[in-house]
């Protein structure tokens, strides 16, 4: 078997979902040839920088603009002229990518971003590039761009998304409700007491995990300061690849009775979730799914308009999280939850009930009989 998994580096979540699928596929098909690639690596440097960078720039500096564009593009259909221009541009920009895929000769393709199936849509309509194609939606929302009529299967996070896709022209028999694929690290069971000891954490004060994404974005300093301004806690703060933020966190003054342990980029996030009582985080699709699988309640701070706001809505409805607007709101929500252990326990149980840690394994099952 030759399985190709394609993601796009437009935000870290798509690549993490692709890595989770590759991990699950290697476990299920140890003799198969499995490759995971970034579709943007086959484009010009300027295109990749513009495509991947524009999202982060808008999210960090103009979130309202991102929200407007997200909503507008979800409702608006391109004109015939626009569609022809997009197809012509894709034909030129993605020619190396198409050559690579055809040379790889996959028995099946899984895409964790809508761009790859969009690139192949025209040729598939013409009866070319007939390899089985599965599209994996990586949020608890389904934007119009994920509506890919030439895909053989679309994997979604919830029954609601399946109901939302069907009226958009996707045959319900081609929609599978699996959840969002996450690494096997979030499926394992951990020795919480041993991990706390390893990290120098005590058993008496609550542990709060503060995250801002792989790049350490999203007003992390303010979030950590707000967490430390409340009742005594042990805060684990993830700066990601942001070295400047890590340095700033390392110099932060910590109130008496509290503890701050800053980290840079880590590949042991599942362990940090396992020792935590509560996460203060953004609501990306992968982060949300990981927390749910670990039974970790969340305070979602200032969700970005668009998909993260929809992910947050899912958490609120599931009873697995609360939303905070600004530092004062975050301090209040944190103080309330830390003081109410019963509510925190109910939220943890709701998170586990909503989690789908087996999503990656279920998706790769399809590859056997697409």
What residue segments make up the domains of the chain, in order of their start?
2-179+357-365, 188-354
Task: Calculate mean pLDDT across residues 188-200.
Answer: 93
Q: Which residues contact 284 (CB under 8 A, 6 or more apart)?
A: 11, 12, 13, 139, 213, 308, 311
Task: Calculate mean pLDDT across residues 152-177.
Answer: 93
Half-sphere exposure in the Cβ direction for 72 (13 Å, CA):
6
pLDDT at 62: 73
Distance CA 285, CA 307 (A): 8
54-110 per-position pLDDT tens digit: 767 777 777 787 787 778 877 756 554 445 545 545 666 788 999 999 999 999 999
Q: What is the CATH number of domain 2-179+357-365?
A: 3.40.50.2000
Q: Does residue 334 have a pLDDT over 70?
A: yes
The two domains 2-179+357-365 and 188-354 share their CATH topology (first three levels equal): yes
CA distances (Å), 206 to each of 86, 211, 216, 321, 329, in order?
52, 16, 23, 17, 19
The pTM score is 0.90
Q: Does residue 156 have a pLDDT over 70?
A: yes
Contact 9, 15 (CB under 8 A): yes
Cα 358 to chain centroid distance, Å, stands at 16
Distance CA 130, CA 138 (A): 24
Q: How confident is the model at residue 214 (pLDDT cuts 50, 70, 90)?
A: very low
**Residue 62: both structure tokens together:** 């103009």
188-354, what's its fold? Answer: Rossmann fold (3.40.50)
């Amino acid at each position: 078997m030759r399985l190709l998994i394609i993601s796009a580096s437009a935000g870290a979540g798509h690549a993490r979902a692709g890595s989770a699928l590759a991990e699950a596929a290697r476990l299920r098909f140890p003799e198969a040839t499995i490759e995971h690639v970034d579709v943007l690596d086959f484009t010009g440097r300027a295109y990749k920088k513009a495509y991947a960078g524009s999202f982060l720039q808008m999210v960090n500096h103009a979130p309202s603009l991102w929200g407007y564009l997200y909503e507008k593009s979800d409702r608006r259909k391109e004109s015939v002229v626009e569609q022809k221009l997009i197809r012509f541009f894709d034909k030129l920009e993605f020619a190396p990518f198409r050559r690579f895929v055809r040379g790889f000769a996959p028995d099946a393709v899984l895409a964790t971003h809508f761009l790859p199936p969009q690139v192949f849509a025209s040729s598939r309509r013409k009866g070319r590039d007939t390899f089985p194609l599965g599209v994996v939606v990586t949020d608890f929302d389904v934007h119009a761009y994920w509506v890919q009529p030439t895909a053989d299967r679309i994997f979604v996070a919830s029954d609601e998304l399946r109901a939302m896709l069907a009226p958009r022209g996707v045959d319900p028999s081609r929609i599978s409700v699996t959840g969002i694929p996450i690494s096997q690290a979030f499926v394992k069971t951990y020795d919480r007491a041993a991990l706390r000891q390893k990290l120098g954490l005590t058993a008496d004060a609550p542990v709060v995990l503060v995250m801002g994404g792989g790049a350490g974005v999203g007003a992390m300093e303010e979030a950590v300061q707000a967490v430390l301004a409340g009742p005594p806690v042990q805060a684990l703060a993830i700066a990601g690849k942001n070295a400047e933020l890590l340095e700033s966190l390392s110099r932060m003054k910590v109130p008496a009775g509290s503890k701050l342990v800053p980290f840079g980029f880590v590949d042991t996030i599942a362990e940090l979730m396992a020792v935590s009582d509560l996460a203060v985080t953004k609501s990306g699709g992968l982060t949300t799914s990981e927390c749910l699988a670990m039974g970790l309640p969340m305070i979602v701070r200032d969700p970005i308009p668009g998909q993260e706001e929809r992910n947050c809505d899912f958490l609120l409805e599931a009873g697995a999280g609360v939303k905070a607007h600004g530092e004062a709101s975050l301090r209040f929500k944190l103080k309330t939850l830390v003081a109410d252990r019963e509510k925190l326990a109910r939220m943890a149980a709701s998170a586990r009930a909503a989690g789908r840690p087996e999503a990656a394994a279920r998706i790769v099952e399809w590859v056997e009989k697409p």
